[in-house]
A = this chain, B = another copy of it.
Amino acid sequence: MEPLQSQGSMTDRATSALRSAILRGDLEPNTLHAVHTVAESLGVSRTPVREALIRLAAEGMVRVQRNRGFVVLRHSPRDLVEIFSLRLLLEVPATRAAASLATPDDVAALDADIARMRDAMAADDAELFLREDRQFHRTLLSISGNERLTEFVDSLRNVVLSSGVSTANRTESIGEILEPHLELLRLVRDGKPTEAAASMHEHLVSTGHKLLTQEFGDEAAASFADALGAYEA
């Protein structure tokens, strides 16, 4: 398992340790695991691990079975479809709002995020790049003013993070991921809500499609398109 980072409460550390262990695939999905095992391998007591599991269960990453253990829920194509549908329903209108509300300070913050993405790209650090990508989306969404929306969308990405990394590696250069973000920044800066929303829509559909195709094949990607169709007018 572990390294177990060196800040925050034990519970916090256990939470992120578990999250990355799960995303790395270190904890076999659909199998019963015992809390005490994990606790030992992390070098903490059972309590913080248990509390971390309660959080992760709320996020839908694990399920706790009474007096039996917990299982890591393997995410299916259906999960990805759900997540990208939700992101589309929320991020597109939020982007529209952001473009019509953004102050110069907001634009500067987005700019700073992009700069950090560039740095990560230069350092060829895919994991860092993904973290900064995520931060860019957070910043953008928070401009809309809806804190709950920002938090929820961000939490959705916990389920997909590892897949995201592999996307970056396999199907396109990091630079190709950067481009849509530059476009978003430009449209938000220039106060073009409709265009910004369209750009976000396109960005998410394309990312979701790529992810689904590479993880589960063309069939799954097609079901994504179907699902989207039902929501739209």
Chain B contacts for A181, CB-based, 8 A:
none
Task: Indicate how many identical chains form the complex.
Answer: 2
Give chain A interface residues in 48-90, CB to chain B under 8 Å.
50-51, 54-55, 58, 60, 66, 79, 82-83, 85-86, 89-90
Shortest distance from the beta carbon of A42 to any chain B beta carbon, whole Å? 18
Which of B79, B86, B101 is A230 in contact with, Cβ under 8 Å? B101
Task: Say yes or no: B230 contacts A96, CB within 8 Å.
Answer: yes
Report whether over half of chain A's contact residues are helix, strand or loop; otherwise say mixed: helix
- The interface stretch among A140-148, A166-174, A182-190 is A140-148
How many of chain A's residues have a CB under 8 angstroms from any CB in B?
A: 37
Binding site for B on A (CB under 8 A): 9, 50-51, 54-55, 58, 60, 66, 79, 82-83, 85-86, 89-90, 93-94, 96-97, 100-101, 144-149, 152, 156, 193-194, 197, 227, 230-233
Sample (28) of A-B pairs whose CB atoms are under 8 Å apart: A9-B66, A51-B54, A54-B54, A55-B58, A60-B148, A79-B148, A82-B147, A82-B148, A83-B148, A85-B146, A85-B149, A86-B148, A86-B149, A86-B152, A89-B90, A89-B93, A89-B149, A90-B90, A93-B231, A94-B231, A96-B230, A96-B232, A97-B230, A101-B230, A144-B230, A144-B231, A193-B233, A194-B233
